[in-house]
Amino acid sequence: MTRSPLRSRMPPQVAPATDARILDIAAEHIRRHGLARTTVTRIAEEAGMSHANIYRYFPSKEALIEEITASWLKPLEAGLRTIGDAPDPAFDKLERILFAIHRAYRAKLENDAPLFQLFVAAAERDAPIARKHRNRCRLEIQRILEEGTSGGLFVITDMMAAKALVIDALYRFLSPAGVLLDRGELRTSVERRMQNLIDLLQGALTHGRY
């Protein structure tokens, strides 16, 4: 039988990777039913496989939940590295990174609150995914502080103290729990408060107070 010319030009349908499909199903279960009522067995049923097969991809429910959180934090972390690699002045990059972190958290809270709550819980118990993400954010902040110091923009004599100053000053806006506390406040109002603190940081970093 002669194949239709139109059909022959159509690209083949590619099935999504099994692990990504499992993550999508698990995330949707959490959105609909909450974490406590989400089970590996129910996820497996919807995926059309045995629960033992789920464990081939994720060794535990906890590992599955962590990977759901990682799936939206990884693009943020990649974005922070891009900012850090940019040719902008160091303080501009520092400001951009701090706002990028805050805005990504706020957007996740506003658009996907059940999954943001997973991140809040992970941070509260210092779960590996929260710890790794926190360390990656701090690494990018330190990298910019070091760049600014070597370029003469910042006057820093104690790098660890300067990094702690940035993190402590912006903690309310960079911690998932802090972002959750400001949920009912207008985004413009929150960012105005954040900008005020960043302006104070600039004075401290450029006038050799650390």
Q: Along the 210 residues of the chain, how does pLDDT read in single tens digits?
A: 444 443 434 343 434 588 899 999 999 999 999 999 999 999 999 999 998 999 999 999 999 999 999 999 999 999 999 999 999 999 999 999 999 999 999 999 999 999 999 999 999 999 999 999 999 999 999 999 999 999 999 999 999 999 999 999 999 999 999 999 999 999 999 999 999 999 999 999 998 666
SS3 157: coil
Q: Which pLDDT belongs to residue 12?
A: 39
Provide the token pair at 55.
């464990």
**Rounded-to-integer distance, Cα 196 and Cα 189, Å:** 11
Distance CA 92, CA 64 (A): 37
For the chain, the structural domain boundaries read: 15-59, 68-206
d(CA 121, CA 129): 11
Residue type, 111: N
Q: What pLDDT is attached to residue 104? A: 98
Specify burial of residue 39 (Cβ count, 10 A radius: 0-12, 13-18, 19+). middle
Helices marked H in 58-186 — which ranges? 61-85, 90-111, 113-124, 128-150, 159-169, 171-174, 176-181
CATH 1.10.10.60 for domain 15-59, yes or no, is yes
pLDDT at 54: 92
Fold (topology level) of 68-206: Tetracycline Repressor; domain 2 (1.10.357)
Confidence (pLDDT) at 207: 83
Residue in the block written with tokens 């006038």: 207
Tell me if 108 sits within 8 A of 115, measured CB to CB.
yes
Q: What is the pLDDT of residue 210?
A: 63
Distance between CA atoms of residues 111 and 23, nearest Å: 18
Helices (H) and strands (E) counted in the chain, each on its own, are 12, 0
Say what the pTM is: 0.88
DSSP single-letter state for residue 210 = -
